[in-house]
Structure 1
Amino acid sequence: MLKVSLPYKQVDGLEIYFDAYYPSFNLKDDEKVAESGVEGSDTRHLPAVVFFHGGGLTVGDRESWFPQWMHKRFSALGYLFISADYRLLIPSTGHDILADIQDLWAFITHPKLEIDFPSSESSFIKCQIERNAIAVAGVSAGGLCAYLCAMHCIEPRPNAILSLYGMGGDFMTPHYLTPKSKPFFQGRDLLDPLDPTLRPFVNSSDTPGVFSSLQVITGSPLSYHPPTHAVPGYPANPRMLLARLYLQLGTWLDYYLDEHNPSISEALHAILSNTEGSADELDDGLANKLKSVIPARHLSLFPQYAESLKDWPPTLLLHGTEDTAVSINESRNLFRLLTPARRTVDVDRLIEVPGAEHSFDLVPDTEEKYGELFDEVVGFINLAVSQKHER
């Protein structure tokens, strides 16, 4: 496997990277050409998939929850596979993450970008990305990143969007806005907001300005306690618990938008508290009232309010019906919004996986369980990219 890591931007002296994986398709022949040393003969023009990792926007990096099944299939079809870092919530915000997505897109679609993959100590395979043959994919919070790319990256636009149990299809729900008093995520115990390891990341009235001391980060690797720990396998990196904690407190949107005092989540919860279901099940008056609470400067971070839905590329949403981290109703709502915006039918697909939980595609026997489904998913995206590229 050939891989290179490249910075695509710098923020306050901090470089933000992406990894590019050269496709397995015809790799041996390409290496032979590169080693031949024939000037210019080894440049390849390749389609690409840009992947965003999950983690609630609070944890993870470009190697976290890496979808081997997705990489393997696109690589075999001749795609470059790009996995990107982005700034994480606390102290960064959703606006910072959106800026990273836009800057990444500008970098990889630059007509003069050339990526060199070392095939030996003295030779390289040179390639350029086909600007009009790029799909965007993401899992969980990475699905939200893919949606933001569809909303804001328009020159050129992505050719297809692939979201697995993606966040952002509907933020106006009790899942985001209601404090929890009993386990809600895979039956796991509720977290203690006063836990000293979590305390630095929690906004409260007695810790004003606490986030100003936190360092901007673009990646936070997964880490677990060893078997000798009191709770073997429990997350050793406290950031791994933050998204769940914010959902537990009903304040995730406060951190996403940096709207804590007053809390935008509390204002929305006050409106929603006497209503069951999600915004798509509410009457138009109440749904508009919820939207009106969000300052106009933040609407660009809400896929459900995107004015560009009619211009989105073909979109495939894949979601388990028993997901307790990101409700399947989010994908259902986004699919509902996409459908009337289209001029033709069957542009988009929503595939529901019966009985599947969050991250169902990362289980040990994933190929045995879902291999045919993965073939179907990648086939849909490849067809969308190919058809757009041919026009």
Structure 2
Amino acid sequence: MTSFPVAELVGYMARTITFKSVQNIDIKLDVAYPQGEIKTPATVLLHYHGGFLVVGDRYAFFPYWLVNASISRNWIFVTPDYRLLPETTAQSSLEDAVDAYTWVWSRLGPELGLEIGSVVLAGSSAGGYLALATAAVVDRKPNALLSIYGMLDPTFERYLKPGSNIFGRPLVDTAPILDRFPNPGNKHTKPQISAYPLPADITKDERFPLVSAFHIDALFLDYLTGTKGLSHDVRTSGEEAIPQQQRNLFPLTFSDLTKLPPTILLHGKNDTAVPVDLSIRAAEKLRQAGVVVQAEFPVNAEHGFDVRVGNVNVELAAGESLATYQSLRKIIIFLDNILSLGSDGLGQS
């Protein structure tokens, strides 16, 4: 996909906007909004794409079900790019995510000639991580937070223990991969990028193997922060080994979770790329902090399961994926409750 699927959005328009420029890069987002008069104050659903912070663009892990839910409610849907590893660190990715979120509150209204009333902050996989990290650092919190099979905790043992690949794939020789894509802490001068369309065949892509190398050699934290040896230090000495200036990248460990809005965690129990335990443990931590949490962990659901259902309206569709649809419907209902009634009185589930 190279552009927002405007033809499939009946009654909607889409616009590509450069929301910031940095390092000679124009970083873009797409806005899909109703044609004609828009109900104001408007609701915005801002979604960060996935790709392990290494690959992907604003159309990656494209959540048609959320777009269709937005259309049904006359919400505005926004999807931004952000800078990727390893040409920079996750500090840049998070900075771009925060700037996109800030742009929605401050600039989107004047751009469309309306008032923004509420924002749902969402993300898939790496985007789920960015949504959580963004919500943790911004002063003006979103009205709701939605993480879809999110990589929510970089200190999770999956990222610290070497010896296995994602999706159950075999081990590979990581040396040539790491030579091609050195740690940004090594001060290399490769140009930064803010978009890398998901390859049709990840087995033939030159960039995607870095994701495998992160897991096989347990180097995710090194690349995330640009700090060589951090994965080893955390593995052997614990979370206190994380430098103070990098702790904003670890929201579940160091942030004040009590200030987070009602949060929805969607994660398939059979996820072989991002283990469901990441979301299960996140739900526990958030509930302990007093956050209202809705957790949906559908069975027989692999990474990207919601994308695989395709461009359907899950509120109307039925069929083979009914169990998946039910989980997605529950999330939409929860969002409706939050936005229409506020978080007061909503119990944890």
> Under a length normalisation based on structure 1, what TM-score does the superposition of the two structures give?
0.77
SS of corresponding position for 1:175:
helix
The corresponding residue for 1:140 is: 125
Letter in 2 for 1:362: V
Give, in whole Å, the separation in 1 of the partners of 2:276 and 2:115: 34
- The CA deviation string for residues 180-204 of structure 1, in whole angstroms up to 9 with x for no partner, is 1x5x422322232134x66311449
Give, in whole Å, the separation in 1 of the partners of 2:249 and 2:183: 21
Letter in 2 for 1:194: A
Unmatched runs of 5 consecutive residues or more in structure 2: 1-8, 345-349
Per-residue deviation, 1:338: 0.9
- Summarize the alignment of residues 73-92 of structure 1 with structure 2, pairs less than 5 Å apart: 73-92=69-88
Per-residue deviation, 1:235: 4.1
Give, in whole Å, the separation in 1 of the partners of 2:282 and 2:96: 23
Unmatched runs of 5 consecutive residues or more in structure 1: 34-41, 116-125, 225-232, 272-289
**Is 1:98 the equivalent of 2:98?**
no
Extract structure 1 runs of 4+ deviating beyond 6 A.
none
Per-residue deviation, 1:151: 0.3
RMSD: 2.5
Contact 1:141 1:167 in 2 (8 A): yes
Letter in 2 for 1:191: V
Contact 1:44 1:127 in 2 (8 A): no
Contact 2:298 2:327 in 1 (8 A): no
The corresponding residue for 1:16 is: 27
Per-residue deviation, 1:236: 4.0
> Under a length normalisation based on structure 2, what TM-score does the superposition of the two structures give?
0.85
Q: Which segment is superposed worse, 185-194 or 291-300?
A: 185-194
Q: 1:234–1:48: structure 2 CA closer, same or farther, 3 Å change rule?
A: closer
The corresponding residue for 1:187 is: 168
SS of corresponding position for 1:238:
coil
Give, in whole Å, the separation in 2 of the partners of 1:97 and 1:174: 22
**Is 1:352 the equivalent of 2:297?**
yes
Give, in whole Å, the separation in 2 of the partners of 1:389 and 1:268: 36
Q: 1:43–1:114: structure 2 CA closer, same or farther, 3 Å change rule?
A: farther
SS of corresponding position for 2:114:
strand
- The CA deviation string for residues 367-387 of structure 1, in whole angstroms up to 9 with x for no partner, is 541223212111212321233
Per-residue deviation, 1:129: 4.8
Contact 1:133 1:389 in 2 (8 A): no
Give, in whole Å, the separation in 2 of the partners of 1:353 and 1:112: 35
Per-residue deviation, 1:158: 0.3
Count of matched residue positions in the alignment of Structure 1 and Structure 2: 324
Contact 2:39 2:74 in 1 (8 A): no
Letter in 2 for 1:14: I
- The CA deviation string for residues 223-256 of structure 1, in whole angstroms up to 9 with x for no partner, is 23xxxxxxxx444432223222211110101000
SS of corresponding position for 2:207:
helix
Per-residue deviation, 1:45: 4.1
Per-residue deviation, 1:64: 1.1
The corresponding residue for 2:232 is: 266
Q: 1:15–1:82: structure 2 CA closer, same or farther, 3 Å change rule?
A: same
**Is 1:175 the equivalent of 2:158?**
yes
Per-residue deviation, 1:389: 9.9
Q: Which has the larger radius of gyration?
A: 1
Give, in whole Å, the separation in 1 of the partners of 2:17 and 2:183: 34
Give, in whole Å, the separation in 2 of the partners of 1:234 and 1:9: 30
Per-residue deviation, 1:307: 3.2
Which of 133, 149, 159 is the aligned partner of 1:165? 149
- The CA deviation string for residues 77-105 of structure 1, in whole angstroms up to 9 with x for no partner, is 11100001011011211111121122112
Give, in whole Å, the separation in 1 of the partners of 2:158 and 2:294: 24
The corresponding residue for 2:246 is: 298
Q: 1:251–1:305: structure 2 CA closer, same or farther, 3 Å change rule?
A: same
